Structure formats: C-alpha cells, structure tokens
Amino acid sequence: MGSTSEFSRRDLIKRAAALGLIAVPTMSALSACAAGGDDDDDKKTDSGGKGQKDAEMKPLNVDGSAPLDVVIFDGGFGQQYAKDAEAEYKKAYPKAEIKHSGTQDIGPQVQPRFNGGTPPDLIDNSGAKQMDLGTLVGLKQLTDLNALLDAPSLDDPKKKVRDTLRPGVVEMGQFDGEQVWVLYYAYTVYGIWYSKTNLQKLDEQYPQTWDDMLKVCEKAKKKGVAGWTYAGQHPYYLPFSLYPFIAKIGGADVLKRIDNLEPDSWKDPAVKAAFEAYYELYKKGYVLQGTPGLDHIQSQTAWNQGKALFIPNGSWVENESKKMTPADFQMAVGAPPSLDKSDKMPFGTLWASGGEPFIVPKSAKNPQGGMELLRVMLGKKSTQNFIKAVSSLTSLNGGTEGLSLPPGLASSQEALTKAGGNVVNPRLQDWYVTLQKEKIGKGALGEMMAGRLTPDETIKKIQKYVDDTRKDDSVKKYKHK
Amino acid sequence: MQHGKYRFIAGFLVVPLAIYGVFVISPFVQAIYYSFTDWTGLSSKFKVTGLKNYQRLWDDELFWKAVGHNVLLLLVLPLVTLGLALFFAFMLNVGGRRRKNAAVGGVRGAGLYKVVYFFPQVLSIAIVALLFKFAYNPNSGAINSFLSAIGLDSVRPDWLGDPDLALWCVTAVMVWSNVGFYVVLFSAGMSSIPKDFYEAALLDGAGRAQTFFRITLPLLWDTVQTGWVYMGIMALDGFAVVQIMTDGPGPDYSTELLTYYLYTKAFSDGQAGYATALGVALLIVTLIFAGVVMKLGRRERLEY
C-alpha cells in the first residue's frame, strides 16, 4: 500500500527546487557583505626617533623587511606606473616582499578586507566603484598622512614633501581638521577638449566668448559636423566644463555655496545663465545626434572621428582614447568661454584638481611602507615616468622639465599657466558622489541636454535633490573652510 | 511500514541540513540582523538602530521606483519569454505540415532553428549586454543603421539614452538571451507527450491552435510553471544587464532595479545596513512572487 499523502514526492522535490532557486540569488545579494574580525585601532602609526642618521635615511621609519601590500585601480592610467614605483621601492628596501594587485572593482575587492581588519598598505581608491571617502574618514579607518607630508622629499632632502606639491592638493585630502587622509596623485585639468586640426579645417580658433562658440558650432553644422558631444550615459562629465563656467560667470563663491549644500545655492543667477547657454546648444541642434545614448568611450570615439568638435572631459582622455586618436589630431583643452562682459572671473578660469585618491588604511600592517611608496611615487623619477606613460600630470609641482609632452598634456600645462590663480576646485564629486553622479548628472543635467527638461525645471529638480541630501542624516556633510 | 520512517529520513538529512543551515540559513539570519543596524560595511563597528532602516525604506522614492521597475519586469519578462518560447517550441515540434510516415513534426529546418535559438545561452550575459550596447549605439549601432538603411532616417531613437525606452531595451535583451533555453526545455517536454494524442486530434480535425491549447499546453503545464518561477527570479535580478548597458540607474533612474540599488548603497555609499534592509525587502518580494505563482499555478495533474 503506497502512501497517498497530499504531496507527491515529485511535488515535494519540485517545490524544494523552486525555493532553492529563489533562495540562491536573494541569498547572494544578502550575504555578500557580512562583517567579521575586529579593527585594531591606533597602533602602528607612530614614527619615533631612532637617531638622526637613521631618520635621514628612512624618514618614515620604514621597516625594510616588512612586506608591502598595494592595490591599484586599473583604469584610465593602468597600473604599470605603480609597478615601476614599486621596483624603485624594492631597490631601496631589497628585503621587502611586495604584493601588487590591480583591479577595476576597488570597492568590492577592498571593502571586505577593511571589514575583516586586514586592509592593504596602500590603495588607489579610484574608479566607478571607489569606496566612499567621507565614510572611511568618519569611521577613522585611515592613516593621517601628515607624517609623509613632513618627511623630506626624495629629490631634495631640504624640502618637505608638502612643499613640493601643487597648490590645493594637501587641502583636498583634508576633511574636517588638520589631518590629511587622502593624497591625490594625479593632477587633472578639466575643460572643453577639442582638436586644433579640426578647428583649423573650419578656419576657426578656440572660441573665447559664448557668442563665438555658437558661431563656430553654426559653421560646423553647415558642414555636417556637430558642435558638441558628451558622455550621454554619464552626464556627470558635463560639469567638467559647466562648473568652471558657472564660477566664471558668478565667481568662485557660487561653487562653494553649492558644495556646502546651502539652501537655494542652485538658484543663483549664474547657474541659470550657464544652464541657458548650454541648453541653447541643444535647442540649436549643435549637439551630435544620439549623444544622450552614448557612453564615455563611444562619445570620445565620435569626437576623435571628427563627428563633433567639443567634448567636456578631463585630462585622462588623451591616454584613454589613445588608440582612437588620429596622429594629426592635436588634442587640446580650452577654458570655458566668456558669457559676457559682466563675468566675475577672467577668461582662462579653469577646473583643475587632484585625481587618483591614494589612501593608507589605519589598520594596515605596514602603513609606513605605504607612505614610503607614495614618497617614492612623488619623486621626480616616478613622476616623469607617470607623465610619459599616461600623459597626465602628477601632484608633484613641475616634473615636466626636459620632457617632450604629448599635445593634450602640453595644452593642459599651458592652460594651467594661463589660469594662474584662477583655478577652481568644486568638491561635490568627492564629497557627495551619488548626488553628483546620479542625481545631478543622470537625473537632471543629462535630461536637460537631451531636451527633456528646461533649464528652469532642471534647477528646480537639482535644488530638490540637494535639499533632500542636506536633510538626509545618513550622508556625512562637509564644508569649505 | 510507516514505523520509524521519519527517523530514517532524518538520519539521512542531518548532514545536508547542517550544511544548509550553516551556509544558507545563517547568512540569512545574519543579514536580517544587520538590517536593524547602521553598519557601514567599511568597519566591523555598528550599533543597532531598530526599525530606522525600514522607515527610511518606506519613505525612499527611489526604492519604490526600483520596486516598480522590478514588478514591471516580473510581469512582462516571464510572459513574453515563455510565450515566445512556447510558440517556437510548438512550431519546432508539432506545428509543421504533415509529412510522410509522421503525423506530427516540426517545421522544416527545425533542428537548425533549435541551435540558433539556443545559441545566446552559450554566451555570458556580460558579452550579450555589451553586444547589445553596441547595437543600441544611436550613432553607429546596428539598429539605427538599419533604420537609416530602410529609409527611416528621421526615426533614430536614443535607445538607452531615453528614459521612456531604456527599460524596454534592457527587457528586450533579457528576453533575447533567455528565450532559447525555454525553447529547448519545452521541446523536451513536448517530445514526451505521446504522439497518439496528436494523431487523434488531427483525425478529429483540430487545427494548430486547438492542438496547442487543448493538448500541448495542459500537458506541459508543470514545466511552464517551473519556467515561470525561474524567469521571475531573472526579472528580480537583472543586475548585470543594467550595470553594463545603462551604467546602473540609466537616464533619470529609468532602469534602476532593486539589486543595483542595493549594490550602490552597500559598495559606493557605505550604507551596508540600509543595503541589507533592501535585501530583506527583495527577499519579501521574491517570496510573495513565488507564493502567488505556486497558488495560481496549482492544477490537477494529468497522467499519461
């Protein structure tokens, strides 16, 4: 006599299988992040004096036999420059074992190690999946890099590392107090990128006023070339030329108020004027057709192919699009054109700031080693190596002497010189990543440039995002000093 | 012979149940526990905040938007995928014209079609997504080039750049990459249906549609139901496609999904506690879905 229960065996198995199927994906989503281990706080960061001579040789008190664990973001700059610097380190400390890893998934790779209390000694926390720096600082997970900044520089023992850096770099690494938690290694020039060759083909120069900009675009349009393109799927590239434009029109304080998330900071007339100007590019049909559907690589490619004249970007674009760029392209970067005579800042006002944030975790096994490697990287030799390899500047002031620079980099250098003291540095993208990239970028600016929002609607929408962020107590807030 | 049956079964199940408990149940419990904390995911320190994460979830517009998209996918994706798969499988196995010595058979070239349909299954979803990302390129992509070629030059949508289209573009890719598997699965199911049923139906003068709805579908119901659950889970995930094709949320959050939102909160915003609360919400949605499917799909089992 067989058992005729309500469920047949097949039913039972089927149901179990179905439940298992449900369980697996939810599970992996749920349990991808489980905490473990303890943080051991405040241990290894003291740099006690061991005697004058020793200190000169090893200013950071590095244990030469300790292993060094380095994680590098393998993005636009690759990872070879770090490997080269590690080789230099190895020369100075032959006994040190160096463990190098390169990845594009910084967050998912490194975060569990923080959590488990065994983070690497030096991290290049960059790329789309970077860890939130504000949170790391807030949780006291990082080493104060002042020890490194006060150490003598590699090339000139009489100078401190601090004094060899470009202006603003140290401040960028500070959050609330005097401690410097982050050292930005690369130095990026943002702006409107173009090809001198393609402009010459139209008998034009880089436009210094917005009226000229519109004229150039009109001329190009008649020849079937678009004026502008941008990374439509990543509209947070638009601010690279738009924010300094706002600063130029209304003064650098407008950007500071925006960074500070002040109420009504986006309702400033300068913002509106800048938005109207950019919106006109769309309305007059100067934006390459289909741009809202392109990602950064696709838009850069279209630009390299001469389908569009201008693209808002950062100085990494030269290295990133190297393979697509025609030999006679003559890449160059331009500062935002003047809107009219009442602009608060002169033509040449530029956004330039540190890129590639390097951090040394607090509970690293060998934090001195991590800082020492940074010191090596900030030496002239490694800097020149970086400049040559990836055509970007580093935070070391200078370092370009005697090098023949590729056109884009040479133009960045020129633009920096021209800007002089008029360099702005909006911090929104470091302090409030989601607000900048997703909300302002994809939710508002991208929509405006695709013609789906008017400038007024855009401002209203952004202001609401900003107000929401200000009220959101799960987001740590920062202010300009 | 019921005596000691349960003890006997339990004896065999101890080890697997223990493994299941450690590796499946315990992370679940742990995750639910974390959802009541303000854990950041960047340090093992956190404090319990009670229901705060859930309150925040309730007021979070983006969360509801993501839920909306997931529910839409949940309805559309299985319906379209399984519908197409059933149609194709039917045509490949039963829908052909009668030929010599065989009462039922597929359309001509059925074998080849099966391979073609199954082909996307061989490709990793990352490759599929990347492939379609290029196809959707509004400038030089295959789709818009095709539109131009047939004289529709004025209709050149931005596809992934248009908030009204982006989610549908992503859905289409998910359908494309999954339909082949179900064609093969349903084909297997159909080939186990006795031929006499079809012969009898044909003798009675039934057409294709009648054969399908009166014979094939009822006898295939179990397989369809399993497929439905499985497809639903694909719809709740969708992470890879969305991540690659629209860089996460897409224009104006038009392709934001629960899994991607969870990932953003956990790995870029440093709010792992909130992310686990999202995970629990996802679990609840999944369980509701499974429950509904199981309830609605229950039918009398047909023996043959």
Residue B259 token pair: 């899994």
Summarize the confidence of residues A183-204 as an average pLDDT. Answer: 96
Q: Is any Cβ of chain B less than 8 angstroms from the Cβ of A15?
A: yes
Q: Residue B97's pLDDT is what?
A: 63
Residue A47 has pLDDT above 50, yes or no: no
Most distant CA atoms of chain A, gap in Å? 99
| Number of alpha carbons in the 13 Å side-chain half-sphere of residue B231 | 32
Q: Topology of domain A189-353+426-471, per CATH?
A: D-Maltodextrin-Binding Protein; domain 2 (3.40.190)
Q: Residue B110's pLDDT is what?
A: 80
Q: Residue B298's pLDDT is what?
A: 72
Q: With the C-alpha atoms ordered A304, A310, A316, A318, is the resulting torsion angle positive or negative?
A: positive
Residue A7 token pair: 């469920």
- Residue among A124, A258, A141, A129 nearest B269 (CA): A129
Q: Residue A215's pLDDT is what?
A: 97
Chain segment A418-441, per-residue pLDDT in tens: 998 899 999 998 888 889 999 999
pTM above 0.90, yes or no: no
Does A5-185+356-396 match A189-353+426-471 in CATH topology? yes
Question: Distance between alpha carbon A127 and the CA centroid of its chain, in Å?
Answer: 7
**B272-297 helix and A9-31 helix, angle to the nearest 10 degrees:** 160
% of chain A exceeding 70 in pLDDT: 88
> Which residues neighbour B173 within 8 Å (Cβ) at sequence distance 6 or greater?
B128, B129, B132, B241, B245
Of A15, A115, A290, the CB nearest to B42: A115
Residue B104, phi then psi, degrees to nearest 5: -125, 145
Q: Residue A1's pLDDT is what?
A: 40
Q: Residue A42's pLDDT is what?
A: 41
Q: Where are the domains of chain A?
A: 5-185+356-396, 189-353+426-471
Q: How far is B241 from chain A (nearest CA, A)?
A: 15
Chain A residues inside the 8 Å CB shell of B267: 107-108, 111, 129, 131
The total number of residues written for chain A in this structure: 481
| pLDDT tens, N- to C-terminus, chain B (304 residues) | 566 788 888 888 899 999 999 999 999 899 999 999 999 888 888 899 999 999 999 999 999 999 999 999 999 999 999 999 999 998 888 876 665 556 667 777 888 888 888 888 888 899 999 999 999 998 888 999 899 888 887 778 889 999 999 999 999 999 999 999 999 999 888 888 888 888 888 888 888 888 888 888 888 988 888 888 889 888 888 899 999 999 888 899 999 999 999 998 988 888 999 999 999 999 998 888 888 887 877 766 666 6
Query: ipTM of this model?
Result: 0.82
Of A15, A135, A443, the CB nearest to B40: A135
The total number of residues written for chain B in this structure: 304
- In A, residues 418-437, which contact B (CB 8 Å cutoff)? 433-434
Q: Is any Cβ of chain B less than 8 angstroms from the Cβ of A290?
A: yes
Summarize the confidence of residues A315-321 as an average pLDDT. Answer: 91
Q: Is any Cβ of chain A less than 8 angstroms from the Cβ of B125?
A: no
Q: Residue A41's pLDDT is what?
A: 41
Question: What letter would DSSP give residue A7?
Answer: S
Residue A40 has pLDDT above 80, yes or no: no
Chain segment A243-295, per-residue pLDDT in tens: 999 999 999 999 999 999 999 999 999 999 999 999 999 999 999 999 999 99
**B125-135 helix and B166-191 helix, angle to the nearest 10 degrees:** 130
Q: Is any Cβ of chain B less than 8 angstroms from the Cβ of A232?
A: yes
| Selected residue of B13, B17, B43 to mutate for chain A interface (largest A Cβ count, 10 A) | B43
- Residue among B94, B289, B298 nearest B186 (CA): B94
Which residue has tokens 């402009």?
A: A199
Q: Residue A21's pLDDT is what?
A: 52
Chain segment A108-149, per-residue pLDDT in tens: 899 999 988 899 999 999 887 888 888 888 888 999 999 999
Q: Do A434 and B268 count as a contact with CB atoms less than 8 A apart? A: yes
Per CATH, is A5-185+356-396 categorized as 3.40.190.10? yes
Q: Do A108 and B267 count as a contact with CB atoms less than 8 A apart? A: yes
Confidence of residue A8 (pLDDT cuts 50, 70, 90): low
Alpha helices in A321-366 (DSSP H): none
- Going along chain B from its start, the domains and CATH numbers come out as 54-296 (1.10.3720.10)
C-alpha A182/C-alpha A433 separation (Å) is: 16
Give the 3-state secondary structure of residue A141. Answer: coil
In DSSP terms, B18 is beta-bridged to none
* DSSP character string of A385-442: HHHHHH--EESBS---TT----HHHHHHHHHHHHHTT-EE---HHHH-HHIIIIIIII
Of B42, B159, B264, the CB nearest to A141: B42
C-alpha A25/C-alpha B241 separation (Å) is: 15
- Burial class of residue A247, CB neighbours in 10 A (0-12, 13-18, 19+): buried
